[in-house]
A and B are shown apart, each in its own frame.
Chain A
Amino acid sequence: MTVEAQVANLVTAVDQLTDAVKVRKAVFDAAVLDAGAARDQAASYVPQVTALRDTAQSLRDQTYGLAQDVASAIVYQNLEAVAASKAVNPTAICIDDTVLPMWAQIGKSWYNEPLGTATRGTRRDMPRVKVIVSTGAALTIYDGDDPSLPMWMVFEASNSKAFRSGANSVSSMNGVVAVGVDGTSSGLLLVIDFAADRLAQRFAGFSGVIPRVWRSVSSRNGGEFESVNLPDIVQRDANAVGMTVFPGAPLSPFSGLPVPTIAVATGGGVSIIKHDGTVVNSLTSTPAKSVTWAEGALVWQNLGRYIHSARLDELSSSGFGAQVARTAAAAAGEFQMLCRVSEMTSADHGVAYGGSAVDLAVAGLCLRQKALGTGGMSALLTTTFNTGWMPDGIEGAWLADTATATLSGTSLVDGGSTWEHLTTNTGWSGSGDTVSFGGTGAVQYNKYFTRMSSVPTGQMLKYTFTIENLSGSSVNVGLFNTSSKGFQEPQNTFSSNGTYTRYRAAEDGAAVGFCVQSNDPTQTVTVSNVSIELADADRSIAANHLSVVGTINRTPVATGSELVGYGGFSPTNYLIQDYDSDLDFGTGDFSILVWSKGAATDSIVVRQDKDASAVYGAGNYFRLYLVGGLLRAFVNGSSLTAPFAVTTTDWHQFAWTREAGVSSLYHNGVKVASSGSLAGSVTNANAVLRVGVVMYNGGFVDAHDGALALFRIGASALTADQIAHAYRTERPMFEPGAQVTLGGASAAVTALAHDADTGLLHVGTNQGRSAFRGLVRSEYEAGAVTKLAARGGMTIKGDAA
């Protein structure tokens, strides 16, 4: 290629490059213009963005502040306590905190009801905590989630409505409420099923009244019911209801929750409505007053004297249940109740019974460790004592008191008291411990009495006397209330000469006297050797009280505690019980429980010949004591010794059981030794029971150097689990400040409620509400109680205010 041609090519290339540069420049110019416009636009947004940033900053600060408030509320504040009251007269109350799922609520008639009416509160869904209260006018469910407890739903009372009249019992769980109404002509059982949206009345027999079903809960206060042939309950007089969920109960298709089983105590026995709606009845048709489910069993009582129970797997269509207890002398296979039962409820590891003093029964709270049959333990609590756990077949529960007064075996009569006529009369002469009537009186049934120095009210007194020269009809002799001017006991008539010993608690400690009443104006009688002494009460049904030799001190087992320990034992100061055939166990089973705090070698209890001139005496004996710190049991020369020593500075629980000839020793609830070598008979018709000392070779030795408390003997062998339970629940009684009795002055129980969530047992009397954890009272609130319910820490109390 020539030079010219090359130059021409270069020129062309330069021109093309120039054109390209021009095009690119134009593009750049346009971009610059766009960028300028964008810059101007962006600049115009700056104020808005700045404002938004400031707003965000402000919101962030507010959010932080609110978060701080929430944190402060959580850290420094509590959920508000509930303290509400309703001016209503409750006939039955109940708390239910079982949760009905939302899907089981939505769409139901009651869920869609208009809110804010007289029979419907302002909350649509069902409260988690439902406080259910019956009065004569209505059954009202209150919203327990709200501290002010607003009304959630009302069932008006009317013969034409689902809730006919005031209930005496209400139970509720898993969306089902069972309501018992008593009355032989108007009683019924109402079952409200919120998930199924249905109400059903259950009666006994169709004579004139057909069971009614309401197809929706929202129609509860109307008359739009249907008559449906539902299975009968045994009687319509529904005194009490109780609900439970059986293991493996089917799930409700309406709620997804296990279907509860309902027990209703009626005037004709107990009926159980099973999960499938069928009904089975108790074997006995005796009117049942209360019912509860406890420890896998159904328990009910009738007439206050009899307790029946049935296992869950015994609830067959052919009938169920057996009598397991009574307040009178128990029959074989029964245990003896200590109080006339008016109230009962399930409790931790058993049943709690509350009642009053009728006949031989004692007013108080009876805790029963076993719901079914015998082989259990019971504890009796009143306003003045707590027995601890007593094995079935109890033959004595001593050293159970809260009184600190010294027990003296000196007669209160000694020293020559002044004898007085109740009404002016002649023929009497009295001096010191002897009084005579010479048959010259003018009035029949005249009384001659003497006053004693004051003793604590309720103090057990032992009185002995000799009747001589009795002619004519009988005389009445016994403890006398110098205030009311009457004999303390009805069983005080004597028609023959002789020496007598009786025990009776002082009904008025400031007015204790002794009286002889002539029942014939012409008779003669001399009552001599009159002696009244303090005694240690046997708190058991056996009433085998202990006499005092010398003086026994009583001091709290710990600082500020109610329970007292008995001390001051010595060869001349101890407790004794004369021969008592109840303790002739032969080669049979027995249990001994006792608390001890003392020295390394201390006698606790011995049953031996009254006069043991050689060794322990010639007759059979048993003994429990400490030697060198080791717990040891003896039966007729054969011994069993625990393998290690106990401390002398603490309270210890010792137990000795003999079952089928095998003895076991327990220390603080743990078995520490066992042997079959102590199988001999302990029956001894010449034996006495000595506490705190032993007679050996004719002298008294090994006096207990510390204190003893809660000494019990029963004719049955407790199990290792029972003794461990007894230790766990009795140990807190020995802690400083432990309160172990019912609060207030009355032990007649008017209401019971067990809170399974807190473990507290609430006990109501006409004095107040006591709350127990095990055997120890943790709360007391004064004020008469007529009804109680408790759940999740919430308590409801009906009172007479």
Chain B
Amino acid sequence: MSLSIKKPAINLRDALARLATLRPAPRYETLWFSGDGTRKTFVLPTGWRTKLVYIDGLLKRPGSAEAYTTSVTLNVETIAFAVAPGTVSVGVYAECAQ
């Protein structure tokens, strides 16, 4: 019987390079809004960017000929739906890199 101990070599250059490039991890959260059947635009908090949009649990496609488009003014993003969501929950899976 014997005991073998192993640990891979550490490339200091790579390790230092990785440390130098570390950035705070972006935050991901689901932001919730309430549709009312008439409201077509929804404004995200400052710095947040849309990743996915769900209406009543269903994923929607982005694009000018699709369910919604997004625009950013002064770091504030607005989602504009082609058709106003009904009185259901609008979930926006969003990223904040700040």
Contacts of B22 in A (CB 8 A): none
Contacts of A82 in B (CB 8 A): 5-7
Query: Taking the complex as formed, is A277 at the interface, i.e. its CB lies under 8 A from any CB of chain B?
Result: no
The answer to whether residues A798 and B9 also contact, given A670-B52, A670-B59 and a CB cut-off of 8 A, is no
The answer to whether residues A795 and B7 also contact, given A90-B1, A644-B61 and a CB cut-off of 8 A, is yes
Which residue of chain B has the shortest Cβ distance to A801 in the bound complex?
A: B2
The answer to whether residues A798 and B3 also contact, given A78-B10, A793-B8 and a CB cut-off of 8 A, is yes
Grouping DSSP codes into helix (H, G, I), strand (E, B) and loop, the A interface class, with mixed when no group exceeds half, is: strand
For window 67-98 of A, CB contacts with B under 8 Å fall at: 74-90, 93
For window 125-153 of A, CB contacts with B under 8 Å fall at: 131, 133, 142, 144, 149
Q: How many angstroms between the C-alpha atoms of A350 and B9 in the bound complex? A: 29
Query: Taking the complex as formed, is A796 at the interface, i.e. its CB lies under 8 A from any CB of chain B?
Result: yes
Query: Taking the complex as formed, is A222 at the interface, i.e. its CB lies under 8 A from any CB of chain B?
Result: no
Q: A78-B12, A84-B5, A673-B58 are in contact. List 15 more A-B contacts (CB 8 A).
A: A76-B13, A82-B5, A82-B7, A87-B3, A88-B3, A89-B1, A131-B5, A643-B58, A643-B59, A643-B61, A644-B61, A672-B59, A794-B7, A795-B5, A795-B6
Cβ contact within 8 Å between B61 and A86:
no
Query: Shortest CB–CB separation between residue B88 and chain A, in angstroms?
Result: 12
For window 1-59 of B, CB contacts with A under 8 Å fall at: 1-13, 16, 52, 54, 57-59
Among B3, B7, B54, B57, the most chain A Cβ lie within 10 Å of the Cβ of B3
Contacts of A77 in B (CB 8 A): 12
20 contacts between A and B (CB under 8 A): A78-B9, A79-B9, A80-B9, A81-B9, A85-B3, A86-B2, A87-B2, A90-B3, A664-B57, A670-B52, A671-B58, A671-B59, A672-B58, A787-B3, A792-B7, A798-B1, A798-B2, A799-B1, A799-B3, A801-B1
Q: How many angstroms between the C-alpha atoms of A796 and B2 in the bound complex? A: 10
The answer to whether residues A799 and B10 also contact, given A643-B59, A670-B59, A674-B58 and a CB cut-off of 8 A, is no
Query: Taking the complex as formed, is A800 at the interface, i.e. its CB lies under 8 A from any CB of chain B?
Result: yes
Which residue of chain B has the shortest Cβ distance to A86 in the bound complex?
A: B3
Cβ contact within 8 Å between B5 and A74:
no
Grouping DSSP codes into helix (H, G, I), strand (E, B) and loop, the B interface class, with mixed when no group exceeds half, is: strand
Cβ contact within 8 Å between A74 and B3:
no
Q: How many angstroms between the C-alpha atoms of A666 and B8 in the bound complex? A: 40
Q: How many angstroms between the C-alpha atoms of A501 and B58 in the bound complex? A: 45
Cβ contact within 8 Å between A85 and B4:
yes
The answer to whether residues A786 and B1 also contact, given A74-B12, A78-B12 and a CB cut-off of 8 A, is yes
Contacts of A792 in B (CB 8 A): 7
Q: How many angstroms between the C-alpha atoms of A643 and B63 in the bound complex? A: 14
Which residue of chain B has the shortest Cβ distance to A79 in the bound complex?
A: B10
Q: How many angstroms between the C-alpha atoms of A709 and B9 in the bound complex? A: 38
For window 44-80 of A, CB contacts with B under 8 Å fall at: 74-80
The answer to whether residues A793 and B57 also contact, given A89-B1, A801-B1 and a CB cut-off of 8 A, is no
